[in-house]
């Protein structure tokens, strides 16, 4: 299936991908996607001669599969600690309450 598609080297594929945060992915990133995958999805590659290649269509399938991967729920953020000002107000309120009851 890969050989009937538009074959590109990792360098060519990296140049064709859009910039994210002002930078394009490095060709080694595509190799990592092929070998280890990303969120359980691997980029399809073939070896032609002494080089590994992929296809623009394989990149499209890889991207589509990544978009369908369920992301784990994020844990709740830690509770906010009171500011010094809030803490001092709370101490003053407690002192007034204690004085009001005679302690």
Q: Each residue of 28-63: pLDDT tens digit? A: 999 999 999 998 899 999 998 889 999 999 999 999
Stretch (H or E) spanning 41 = none
Q: Classify residue 96: in a domain, yes or no.
A: no
Q: Classify residue 32: in a domain, yes or no.
A: yes
Q: To the nearest whole percent, how much of the chain has pLDDT over 70?
A: 97
Q: Classify residue 81: in a domain, yes or no.
A: no
Q: Decide: 3 and 46 in contact? Cβ < 8 Å.
A: yes
Report whether pLDDT(93) > 90: yes
Q: Classify residue 95: in a domain, yes or no.
A: no
Of residues 73 and 61, more confidently modeled = 61
Q: Classify residue 94: in a domain, yes or no.
A: no
Q: Classify residue 84: in a domain, yes or no.
A: no
SS3 state at 68: helix
Whole-number average pLDDT of the chain: 90
Q: Which domain holds residue 27?
A: 2-68
- What total number of domains does the chain contain? 1
Mean pLDDT of 63-67: 90
Mean pLDDT of 10-37: 93
């Amino acid at each position: 299936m890969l050989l009937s598609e538009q074959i590109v080297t990792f360098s060519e594929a990296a140049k064709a991908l859009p910039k994210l945060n002002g930078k394009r992915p490095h060709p080694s990133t595509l190799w990592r996607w092929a070998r280890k995958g990303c969120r359980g999805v691997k980029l399809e590659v073939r070896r032609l001669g002494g080089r590994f290649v992929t296809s623009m269509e394989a990149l499209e399938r890889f991207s589509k599969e990544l978009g369908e991967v369920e992301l784990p729920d994020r844990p709740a953020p830690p509770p906010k600690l009171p500011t010094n000002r809030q803490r001092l107000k709370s101490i003053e309120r407690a002192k007034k309450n204690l004085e009001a009851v005679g302690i």
